[in-house]
């Protein structure tokens, strides 16, 4: 019997710390185990012995028979280490430590927690917690938690929560909606068993049809992605992430690092894994309910119809859909003509489709069918306020069944319709916005961790679900127009041993050849690479830069400007100068030799002496100069990457230039990227419109931008010494894509958390 099987399907249980006092948690825990109807052997352990709740109590753990499957430990923290050692010596297969006072408290608690783990691992015993609320398993009739009077609705929802209190909230709230929980585990401090272990188990658990997670922190983000991606192809996973504030962001030296905060990376990682990530509690519960009630129906694309008899709420639903990344496409002329023949002349037939309260009841079914059979529509949100007629519900249900396209409803003052929808498996939500977001959860779950193909109708951050393309090796274009090897090996089924050979998180690409001097810099440097080295590194990866020259003296800067041709841009360069614009180290539109000389003298005077930004250096910094051609006009973009503490290398793309952090328009993905993911990033946020060519500029060649994104993603994925990459701005117009500044921060692997 495996450790987690012993946890969820034990044949025998020891309750260590069982108490005769009904006011004690140890008494409540034993009562819960007994009252739930557990059929196996139950061994209360209490130094006083005697009888507790009609069960003979053992005075010492050493009196347990060998090989008990599960121990529930409810003791004061100081007594737990000895108890875990004794349980391990008796061959107990799994232990749940509900006691608090360990790693969540202080360094002494962390030391005690480490000792628990060492004892458990030495004996091959799995350890849950400490600082948790226990385990529940409906198939085993086991309530090994502190919760009493739990809902008993049948169902296949498995809940894993890092917060005991929030786990209890999930349990009870699902019960209030008539949704049944099959398994529940509060994992607390995750000393041993973590959320990834549980997802791996639940992926193959026949009693589980949906996995709901409350996540606070992950130890190994890439392993979690592999496990979740595998599981999400078999059953839906819905998650809510706690701890998203700016206070949790990683301190970083680049624009990319400051913009790509920890929650942005969690969002990208969970999306890659096919997890439906809810932004708030209501959305979390709505997504779970909708996925359960809708069964196996999933949308084939991110395109909905809004069908209503209530104009105002339908407009709200359509607005919410577009904000949420769903398209609400207009119906074609032929479909609109057929709808006009069925509906009153004042009905709206474009989408949203307003049948109006005056619709002839016998025509509702035909009208709804006309909308749902349209090839541009992947499903519908239906809205009914106050027109409580069975024909509306029957028409929607019939069209849903005929097309197989999922429907989610918002109703008010229509109890008969609500009842019919419930009976037919159509989720009913209490507002138009919640109905739309619930439909979106169906779409996201249907992706199941597959690559997201492109579709112009898919909305700004969504794409329709189509069969995955073959993952042939991609070549990244070099600066000479050639190629450099395969960006990554093709996907295969020979992945991580922890996953049993399941493909999941992006794998590192084949390492490209790096010039020896740059290789040395990556190995030996600390902090920001010199600009010239950073540029060569990125050029080697396939990034094109503008024409420029470096100069160590003002006279050399003037000669460089004369050779490049005016106007030029003059920049100061010195150790520690990461953000030139913020430091006032850039002069734009310099039009003559005299202006070059004036600019260099000013930069040298302000930045090179004591009292300037480099005063902390051991000696006065020597300012050199970079003279560049003036590039433009064009769209200013940010391309960057960083090494996240949890998920490893990630890539960022957004609006660039001096307002980068003010606008904060950025998308994040795990690195390396495939072509679909790169293309998807181009469709998100404000830059999606910028790439179309504003103010008379030619549309930007999206393939060129995607190639740069993939190149930067490959670079950080293959070079473990790189902590951050920042290209800002990259100026794009038509098929011209030129970087005008670069920052690469190097950090030794041993210095990372």
The CA distance from 482 to 542, in Å, is 9
Give me the pLDDT at residue 388, please.
96
Instruction: Indicate the pLDDT class of residue 647, thresholds 50, 70 and 90.
Output: very high
**The predicted structure's pLDDT at residue 362:** 96
467: confidence class by pLDDT, cuts 50, 70, 90: very low
Contact criterion met (CB below 8 Å) for 650 and 644? yes
Residues 166-213 pLDDT 10s: 999 998 899 999 999 999 999 999 999 999 999 999 999 999 999 999
pLDDT band at 491 (very low <50, low <70, confident <90, very high): very low
Residue 501 has pLDDT above 60, yes or no: no
The encoded tokens of residue 258 equal 């400051």
pLDDT in tens, 707-733: 999 999 999 999 999 999 999 999 999
Question: Which residues are 543's β-sheet partners?
Answer: none
487 confidence band (pLDDT: 50, 70, 90) = very low
**What region does 17 belong to: left with phi over 0, alpha with psi -120 to 50, or beta?**
left
Per the prediction, the chain carries an average pLDDT of 87
In the chain, pLDDT over 90 holds for what percent of residues? 72
Query: 449 pLDDT band (50/70/90 cuts)?
Result: low
Quick: pLDDT tens for 208-261: 999 999 999 898 999 999 999 999 999 999 999 988 765 434 433 444 444 545
pLDDT digits (tens, 9 = 90+) for 605-635: 888 653 444 444 444 457 899 999 999 788 9
Task: Report the SS3 class of residue 568.
Answer: strand
CA distance 447 to 463: 9
Does the pLDDT at position 482 exceed 60?
no
Rounded CA separation 99/146 (Å): 11
**pLDDT digit string, tens, across residues 656-672:** 887 676 677 889 999 99
Which phi and psi angles does 56 have, rounded to 5°? -70, 130
Model confidence at 157: pLDDT above 60 = yes
pLDDT digits (tens, 9 = 90+) for 451-461: 443 333 333 34
Can you give the three-state secondary structure of 374-385, one letter per residue? CCCCCCEEEEEE
Write the CA distances from 95 to 12, 195, 247, 320, 524, integer angstroms.
12, 16, 34, 46, 46
Is the model more confident about 511 or about 265?
265
Omega within 30 of 0 (cis) for the link into 111: no
The span from the CA of 237 to the CA of 414, in Å, is 32
pLDDT tens per residue across span 275-294:
999 999 999 999 999 999 99
- pLDDT at residue 490, as a whole number: 30
Q: How many CB atoms lie within 10 A of CB 292?
A: 22
Task: Give the global pTM.
Answer: 0.86
> What would the pLDDT profile of 83-133 be if each residue is shown by its tens digit?
999 999 999 999 999 999 999 999 999 999 999 999 999 999 999 999 999
Which pair of structure tokens corresponds to residue 72?
């529930």
Vertex 382, ends 380 and 388: CA angle to 5°?
Answer: 155
* Residue 63 tokens, joined: 């009196």
Domains of the chain, first to last: 3-248 (3.40.50.720), 298-447 (3.40.50.261), 547-629 (3.30.1490.20), 635-751 (3.30.470.20)
Q: Which of 19, 8, 60, 15 is nearest to 41 (CA)?
A: 15
Strand ranges in 263-415 using DSSP code E only, listed in sequence order: 276-278, 305-308, 353-354, 380-385, 407-412
| Predicted local confidence at residue 623, as pLDDT | 85
Over the stretch 549-589, which tens digit does the pLDDT of each residue have? 999 999 999 999 999 999 999 999 887 777 787 788 999 99
Which has more pLDDT, 682 or 607?
Answer: 682
């Amino acid at each position: 019997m495996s450790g987690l099987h012993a946890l969820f399907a034990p044949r025998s249980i020891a309750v260590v710390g069982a108490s005769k006092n009904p006011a004690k948690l140890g008494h409540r825990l034993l009562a819960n185990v007994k009252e739930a109807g557990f059929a196996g052997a139950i061994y209360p352990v209490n130094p006083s012995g005697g009888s507790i709740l009609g069960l003979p109590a053992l005075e010492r753990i050493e009196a347990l028979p060998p090989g008990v499957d599960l121990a529930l430990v409810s003791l004061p923290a100081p007594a737990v280490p000895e108890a875990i050692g004794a349980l391990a010596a008796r061959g107990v297969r799994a232990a749940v430590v509900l006691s608090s006072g360990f790693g969540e408290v202080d360094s002494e608690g962390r030391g005690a927690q480490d000792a628990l783990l060492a004892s458990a691992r030495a004996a091959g015993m799995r350890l849950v917690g400490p600082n948790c609320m226990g385990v529940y398993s409906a198939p085993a009739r086991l309530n090994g938690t502190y919760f009493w009077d739990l809902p008993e609705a049948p169902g296949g929802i498995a809940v894993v929560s890092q917060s005991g209190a929030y786990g209890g909230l999930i349990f009870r709230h699902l019960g209030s909606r008539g949704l049944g929980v099959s398994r529940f585990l509060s994992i607390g401090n995750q000393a041993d068993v973590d959320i990834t272990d549980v997802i791996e188990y639940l992926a193959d658990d026949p009693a589980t049809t949906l996995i709901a997670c409350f996540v606070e922190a992950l130890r190994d983000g890439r392993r979690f992605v592999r496990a979740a991606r595998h599981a999400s192809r078999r059953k839906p996973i819905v998650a809510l992430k706690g701890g998203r504030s700016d206070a949790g962001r990683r301190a970083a030296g680049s624009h990319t690092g400051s913009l790509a905060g920890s929650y942005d990376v969690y969002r990208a990682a969970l999306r890659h894994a096919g997890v439906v990530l809810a932004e708030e509690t209501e959305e979390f519960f709505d997504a779970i309910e909708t996925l359960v009630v809708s069964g196996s129906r999933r949308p084939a694309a991110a395109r909905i119809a809004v069908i209503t008899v209530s104009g105002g709420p339908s407009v709200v639903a359509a607005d919410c859909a577009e904000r949420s990344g769903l398209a609400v496409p207009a119906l074609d002329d032929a479909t609109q003509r057929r709808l006009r023949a069925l509906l009153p002349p004042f009905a709206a037939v474009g989408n949203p489709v307003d049948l109006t309260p005056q619709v002839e009841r016998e025509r509702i079914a035909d009208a709804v069918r006309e909308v749902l059979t349209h090839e541009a529509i992947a499903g519908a949100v239906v809205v009914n306020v106050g027109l409580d007629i069975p024909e509306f519900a029957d028409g929607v249900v019939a069209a849903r069944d005929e097309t197989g396209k999922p429907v989610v409803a918002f109703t008010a003052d229509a109890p008969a319709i609500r009842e019919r929808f419930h009976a037919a498996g159509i989720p009913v939500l209490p507002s138009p916005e919640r109905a739309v977001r619930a439909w979106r959860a169906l779409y996201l779950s249907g992706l199941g961790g597959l690559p997201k193909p492109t579709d112009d109708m898919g909305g700004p951050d969504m794409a329709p679900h189509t069969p995955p393309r073959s993952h042939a090796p991609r070549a990244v274009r070099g600066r000479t127009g050639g190629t450099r090897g395969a960006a990554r090996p093709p996907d295969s089924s020979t992945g991580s041993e922890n996953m049993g050979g399941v493909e999941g998180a992006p794998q590192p690409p084949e390492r490209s050849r790096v010039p020896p001097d740059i290789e040395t810099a990556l190995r030996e440097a600390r902090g920001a690479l010199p600009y010239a080295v950073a540029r060569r590194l990125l050029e080697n990866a396939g990034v094109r830069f503008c024409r420029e020259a470096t100069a160590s003296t003002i006279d050399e800067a003037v000669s460089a400007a004369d050779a490049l041709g005016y106007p030029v841009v003059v920049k100061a360069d010195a150790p520690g100068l990461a953000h030139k614009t913020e430091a006032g180290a850039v002069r734009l539109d310099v039009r003559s030799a005299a202006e070059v000389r004036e600019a260099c003298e000013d930069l040298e005077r302000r930045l090179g002496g004591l009292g300037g930004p480099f005063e902390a250096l051991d000696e006065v910094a020597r300012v050199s100069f970079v003279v560049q051609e003036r590039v433009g006009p064009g769209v200013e973009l940010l391309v960057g990457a960083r090494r996240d503490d949890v998920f490893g290398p990630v890539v960022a793309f957004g609006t660039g230039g001096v307002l980068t952090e003010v606008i904060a328009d950025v998308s994040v993905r795990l690195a390396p990227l495939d072509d679909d993911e790169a293309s998807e990033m181009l469709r998100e946020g404000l830059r999606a419109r910028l790439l179309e060519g504003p103010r008379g500029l030619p549309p930007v060649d999206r393939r060129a931008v995607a190639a740069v994104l993939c190149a930067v993603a490959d670079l950080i994925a293959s070079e473990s010494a790189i902590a951050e990459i920042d290209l800002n701005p990259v100026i794009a117009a038509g098929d011209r894509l030129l970087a005008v500044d670069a920052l690469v921060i190097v950090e030794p692997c041993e210095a990372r958390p």
